[in-house]
Each structure stands twice: as structure tokens, then as C-alpha cells.
């Protein structure tokens, strides 16, 4: 069955990447030399891509990634059933992302979204395309790292919230994996104070990552440099092969206003999250006190 699933996944990947005829082709014109040979001279005539082009490219990539994930998930569902699909849904999404960016970014070609708007990845010098190592780091940070963080933090947070008592719900399927058992075993050895401290740290880390992402997007709206955190970490920016006429200044002003509004909304959201977390901690503390008093009676 695994061999059938693997061949079905490969067929789905090739089908989605063949949705446009230039899935693995370089941009025509001057950008062809940039993509294939890494020549620096053609890039000097290009301008840095603006926020509208970068956002449209990301949206187009998300559209094709969604189609690839849906097709791969449908193949798994039809071959292995709904239960296996639920258990391996995150892994299928990860494999779909790796397949998509492996056939485009790591292979040295534009993604479908980048080709759609005519933008090209460049390294920090803005004169050469990123090296294969830099592109591989980009894909790892963009696709693999979020998956690993989610798989590590979510079980830990669930075990800490279970509080080690009889209110823990029975878990099945892959929740009985080695990693989950390891987390449960070590969480059971923690004292009450250690459990509360670790739970607070996990909450701050998860919320901090979400707020960092939102802050980074708002900062991109204002300055228009890096849309994804992974691209900032890898130092990859975009040049545009087609010059847009006219309304650059007006569009840039609109995005800056959107960025300022996003920062204000983020500040309000963070305040509400901190208040909600304190309320939950207070309610949990009062519930434990009430439970202990009931046991003493």
C-alpha cells in the first residue's frame, strides 16, 4: 500500500506542477541568464519588487500549494481511509510543501507565483541568484521548522493542561507515539510549580511566535522588504523583471497605512491575550482551591 501511496503522491505532484507550462522554466528575456548562469549584469537593470508583486506571488503559491495538498490528501484518503488521513494529514501537507518547493526553489527555478508576477529571487548582494544551500535553508525554515515547532509544542501544552490528574482524556492513534509518551512521562515528574512555569513559558512561546509573524507582516507592509520570516533569515529578496507603470507611490502609501493599522491591531490583540491568560490562570487556581477544600470535607 505504501508503494501505491508513494506513486500516487508523485503523480499528484507532477500534475499540479504541470498546471502551467513553465513550471520549471526560467523567465524569458534578461532574467533567463540570471536563473541559469547566475550572471550578475542583467540584474542591475531590474528594480526591487514591491509589496504588491510579492503578495500576489505568495497568494498564487498558496493557491497551488492548497491544490497539491488537497490532491495528496485525497489520494491518501482513498488508499488508506479516513482514519489514516486524519493521523497523517500534517505530514502529507509537509511532503506537499517540500515537493512543491523542491521542484521549484531548490531546483533553481521560479515558483508558479513568482513566474506569474515576473519576480526573481536574489541573494543579499541583489546581483546573483541565491545559492543552492541558501535556497535549501529557505525551504527548511519556511516549511519544515513550523511543522517541527507545532509537533513539539502542541503535545507539551496538552500534557501540561491535562495537569496529570484523572481529567486527562484517553488518547489514541498516533498520540501514543514515542514522542508523546516521552513528553507524558517527563511531564508527570514535574512539581506543581514547575508545571505552571513551563506551561506559562510554552504559552508565551506559542503566542510570541504568532505575534512575531503578525508583526513581521505589518513591518513588510510599511517597508516592503521581506514578506516571510524565512526569507528574512535566509537574506533572499526579489527583483522584478517587468516594470510597472504609474501608481507605485500611491500603492506604497496604501500599504504603509495598512501596516500601521496592523501594528495597532496587534498591540490591542496582545493586550487582550495577556488579560485572557491571566483570567484563565486565576480561574484555574480558584478551581484547584475549591477542589482541595471539597476533598478535605
Can you list the positions of beta strands (E) in 22-117? 47-48
Top pLDDT among 29 and 207 is at 207
Top pLDDT among 249 and 31 is at 249
Does residue 178 register a pLDDT over 80? no
- Please give the average per-residue pLDDT across 242-261, as a whole number: 76
Does residue 100 register a pLDDT over 70? yes
Percent of the chain with pLDDT over 90: 38
pLDDT band at 179 (very low <50, low <70, confident <90, very high): low
pLDDT band at 216 (very low <50, low <70, confident <90, very high): very high
* 47-48: strand order across its sheet: 47-48, 237-240, 119-122
Top pLDDT among 294 and 164 is at 294
- Please give the average per-residue pLDDT across 144-167, as a whole number: 75
Which pTM was predicted? 0.73
User: Where is average pLDDT lowest: 214-218, 219-223, 242-246?
Assistant: 242-246
Q: What are the domain boundaries of the chain?
A: 2-281
**Residue 112 near residue 19, CB atoms below 8 Å:** yes
Top pLDDT among 263 and 158 is at 263
Q: How far is CA 216 from CA 129, 190, 207, 213, 257, in A?
A: 24, 35, 14, 5, 15
pLDDT value, residue 261:
92
Top pLDDT among 178 and 58 is at 58
User: Where is average pLDDT lowest: 76-85, 111-120, 146-155, 169-178?
Assistant: 169-178
Does residue 170 register a pLDDT over 70? no
- Please give the average per-residue pLDDT across 57-74, as a whole number: 94
pLDDT value, residue 223:
86
pLDDT value, residue 23:
38
As beta bridge partners, residue 238 has: 121
User: Where is average pLDDT lowest: 13-22, 58-67, 96-105, 157-166?
Assistant: 13-22
Angle between helices 51-80 and 2-17 (to 10 degrees): 150
- Please give the average per-residue pLDDT across 65-86, as a whole number: 91
Sign of the four-CA dihedral 286, 287, 288, 294: positive
User: Where is average pLDDT lowest: 10-14, 66-70, 81-85?
Assistant: 10-14
**Residue 143 near residue 94, CB atoms below 8 Å:** yes
- Please give the average per-residue pLDDT across 110-134, as a whole number: 93
Amino acid at each position: 500500500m505504501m508503494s501505491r501511496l508513494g506513486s500516487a503522491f508523485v503523480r499528484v505532484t507532477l500534475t499540479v506542477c504541470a498546471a502551467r507550462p513553465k513550471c520549471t522554466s526560467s523567465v524569458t528575456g534578461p532574467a533567463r541568464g540570471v536563473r541559469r548562469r547566475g550572471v550578475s549584469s542583467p540584474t542591475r537593470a531590474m528594480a526591487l519588487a514591491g509589496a504588491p508583486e510579492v503578495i500576489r506571488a505568495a497568494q498564487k503559491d498558496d493557491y497551488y500549494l492548497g491544490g497539491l495538498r488537497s490532491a495528496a490528501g485525497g489520494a491518501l484518503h482513498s488508499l488508506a481511509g479516513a482514519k489514516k488521513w486524519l493521523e497523517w494529514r500534517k505530514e502529507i501537507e509537509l511532503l506537499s510543501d517540500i515537493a512543491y518547493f523542491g521542484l521549484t526553489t531548490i531546483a533553481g527555478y521560479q515558483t508558479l507565483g513568482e513566474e506569474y508576477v515576473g519576480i526573481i529571487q536574489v541573494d543579499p548582494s541583489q546581483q546573483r541568484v541565491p545559492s543552492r544551500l541558501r535556497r535549501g535553508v529557505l525551504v527548511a525554515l519556511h516549511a519544515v521548522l513550523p511543522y517541527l515547532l507545532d509537533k513539539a509544542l502542541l503535545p507539551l501544552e496538552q500534557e501540561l493542561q491535562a495537569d496529570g490528574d484523572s481529567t486527562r482524556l484517553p488518547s489514541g492513534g498516533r498520540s501514543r507515539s514515542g514522542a508523546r509518551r516521552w513528553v507524558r512521562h517527563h511531564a508527570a515528574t514535574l512539581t506543581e510549580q514547575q508545571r505552571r512555569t513551563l506551561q506559562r513559558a510554552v504559552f508565551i512561546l506559542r503566542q510570541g511566535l504568532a505575534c512575531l509573524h503578525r508583526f513581521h507582516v505589518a513591518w513588510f507592509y510599511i517597508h516592503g522588504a521581506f514578506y516571510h520570516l524565512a526569507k528574512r533569515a535566509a537574506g533572499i529578496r526579489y527583483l522584478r523583471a517587468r516594470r510597472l507603470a504609474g501608481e507605485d507611490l500611491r500603492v506604497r502609501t496604501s500599504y504603509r497605512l495598512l501596516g500601521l493599522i496592523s501594528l495597532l491591531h496587534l498591540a490591542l490583540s496582545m493586550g487582550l491575550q495577556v488579560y485572557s491568560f491571566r483570567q484563565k490562570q486565576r480561574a484555574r487556581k480558584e478551581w484547584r482551591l475549591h477542589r482541595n477544600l471539597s476533598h478535605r470535607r
